[in-house]
């Protein structure tokens, strides 16, 4: 019968110690020596403790000095590149300023570097982590420039959102409601401690300085006018919904908002304007102008069908529905008027919802 293979025999030709009746003297001696070596090493470590003289092990000061190269040569700081034909006079254009006018440099400022331009495919390079905020509102191009004067640096960022609605959507999403709004012509903005933030037509802009300074306020006013003078594209979009809310219903500008997509958390609801007056509490109007009457009617039916999951119908007739939330009790009224889909959300009672919807419908009929 063949002898069974045991992996132990590769290292130890005899059986394991626990299975043997006799231990060879050689094994006993080796075991004892190993124990003595471990004990001796431990005793040496304990005896050494903090007995350490750096001079015995470290490189001497003399040796370090011998290998030194002496004082490091002076290296001038890196300077920003400028074109060979750049002008050097204060306030003179050093690089092309397009799309900004020459008034960009008023006040003795010069361009620090150049005017930079970024599109949807590379804007993330400049504003990494924030690009999506602009892209969802139709971003087309970013114009970015930094101005300098006597150690003061002022940066102007102008985001071309293609439409007034897109610029308003970004502004409403980023606006600080604690700061009062100002208006210079077609420009609406609010001041910050180091600049200003606002919009003009399809442009959302941000002005930021490297420090607080009285000169920042003056320069910010000038840059606000620069943005206001930028040309408007031919396809800047229809602002009729905005005029219905502000001019017709008296909604303050700061209470107007715009959702490019996913209004009411529905994928099919896009291009929707919202507005409310302080006198109406939490209730706010909403409106959307569809491509035609058929598209508006289809959207109306789809919205009512989705809302019926959480709301119950209070009253309904052709082209108008009043709903009440099953748990919260607030009202949601919606109507279709030609190509317009309009309504009220958040009203406290039926009468308020009817009244607000009728006011909105009346203003829409005036612009049809």
- Is residue 109 within 8 A of residue 148, CB to CB? The reply is yes
Predicted local distance difference test score (pLDDT) of residue 70: 62
Which H, E and C letters describe 118-159, residue by residue? ECCCCHHHCCCCCHHHHHCCCCCEEEEEEEEECCEEEEEEEE
Domain boundary among 228, 260, 279: 228
Read off the DSSP letter of residue 247: I
Domain boundary among 181, 201, 228: 228
Which parts of 165-290 are beta strand (E)?
A: 182-184, 187-192, 195-200, 203-209, 256-259, 272-275, 284-289
What are the residues whose beta carbons fall under 8 Å from the beta carbon of 9, sequence distance 6 or more?
none
Residues 156 and 194 grouped into a single domain: yes
Residues 122 and 215 grouped into a single domain: yes
Q: How far apart are CA 73 and CA 308, in angstroms?
A: 77
Report the SS3 class of residue 212: coil
Predicted local distance difference test score (pLDDT) of residue 282: 85
Contacts 24+ apart (CB under 8 A), 16-21: none
Whether residue 14 lies inside any domain: the answer is no
pTM of the model: 0.67
Tokens of 260: 């490019």
Whether residue 40 lies inside any domain: the answer is no
Other Cβ atoms within 10 Å of 89 Cβ, number: 8
Residues 252 and 206 grouped into a single domain: no
Predicted local distance difference test score (pLDDT) of residue 89: 45
CA angle 259–264–269, rounded 5-degree value: 65
Predicted local distance difference test score (pLDDT) of residue 23: 75
Report the SS3 class of residue 90: coil
Q: How far apart are CA 162 and CA 119, in angstroms?
A: 12
Q: How far apart are CA 54 and CA 67, in angstroms?
A: 19
Residues 221 and 268 grouped into a single domain: no
Report the SS3 class of residue 36: helix
The sign of the dihedral angle between the CA atoms of 342, 348, 354, 356 is negative
Q: What is the CATH number of the domain that holds 160?
A: 3.40.1000
Predicted local distance difference test score (pLDDT) of residue 79: 66
Domain boundary among 174, 206, 228: 228
Residues 216 and 251 grouped into a single domain: no
What are the residues whose beta carbons fall under 8 Å from the beta carbon of 102, sequence distance 6 or more?
93
Q: Map tokens 């306030």 to a residue.
A: 91
Predicted local distance difference test score (pLDDT) of residue 202: 93
- The one-digit pLDDT tens for each residue of the chain (368 residues) are 455 555 555 555 655 656 666 778 888 888 889 999 999 998 888 887 777 666 666 666 677 667 666 666 666 666 666 555 444 444 444 578 999 999 999 999 999 989 999 999 999 888 877 888 899 899 999 999 999 999 999 999 999 999 999 999 999 888 998 999 999 888 999 999 999 999 999 999 999 999 998 899 999 999 999 999 998 876 555 578 998 999 899 999 989 999 988 899 999 999 999 999 888 778 999 999 999 999 999 999 999 999 999 999 999 988 999 999 999 999 999 999 999 999 999 999 999 999 999 999 999 988 75
CA distances from 225 to 198, 200, 345 (A): 12, 10, 37
Whether residue 2 lies inside any domain: the answer is no
Residues 250 and 362 grouped into a single domain: yes
- Domain range for 355 is 240-367
Q: How far apart are CA 214 and CA 237, in angstroms?
A: 37
Residues 244 and 358 grouped into a single domain: yes
């Amino acid at each position: 019968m063949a002898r069974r293979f045991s992996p132990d025999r590769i290292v130890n030709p005899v059986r394991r110690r626990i299975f043997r009746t006799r231990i060879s003297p050689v094994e006993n001696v080796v075991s004892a020596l190993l124990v003595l070596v471990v004990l001796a090493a431990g005793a040496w470590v304990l005896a050494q403790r903090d007995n350490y003289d750096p001079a015995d092990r470290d490189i001497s000061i003399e040796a370090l000095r011998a290998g030194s190269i002496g004082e490091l040569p002076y290296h001038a700081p890196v300077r920003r590149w400028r074109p060979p034909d750049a002008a050097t006079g204060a306030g003179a254009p050093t690089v092309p300023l397009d799309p900004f006018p020459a008034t960009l440099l008023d006040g003795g400022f010069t361009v620090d570097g150049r005017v930079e331009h970024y599109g949807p495919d590379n804007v993330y390079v400049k504003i990494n982590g924030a690009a999506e905020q602009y892209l969802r509102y139709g971003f087309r191009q970013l114009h970015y420039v930094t101005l300098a004067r006597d150690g003061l640096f002022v940066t102007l960022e102008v985001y071309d959102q293609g439409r007034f609605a897109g610029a308003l959507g970004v502004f409403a999403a980023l606006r600080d409601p604690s700061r009062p709004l100002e208006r210079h012509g077609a420009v609406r903005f609010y001041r910050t401690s180091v600049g200003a933030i606002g919009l003009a037509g399809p442009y959302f802009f941000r002005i930021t300085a490297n420090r607080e300074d009285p000169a920042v306020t003056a320069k910010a006013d000038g840059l606000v006018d620069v943005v206001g003078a930028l040309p408007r594209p031919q396809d800047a979009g229809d602002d009729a919904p905005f005029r219905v809310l502000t001019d017709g219903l008296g909604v303050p500008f700061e209470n107007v908002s715009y959702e490019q997509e996913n209004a009411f958390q529905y994928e099919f609801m896009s291009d929707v304007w919202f507005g409310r007056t302080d006198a109406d509490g939490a209730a706010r109007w909403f409106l959307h102008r569809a491509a035609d009457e058929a598209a508006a009617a289809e959207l109306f039916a789809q919205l009512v069908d989705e809302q019926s999951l959480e709301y119950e119908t209070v009253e309904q007739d052709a082209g108008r529905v009043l709903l009440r939330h099953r748990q919260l009790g607030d009202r949601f009224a919606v109507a279709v008027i030609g190509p317009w889909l309009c309504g009220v959300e958040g009203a406290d009672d039926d009468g308020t919802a009817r009244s607000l919807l009728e006011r909105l419908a009346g203003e829409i009929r005036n612009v049809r």
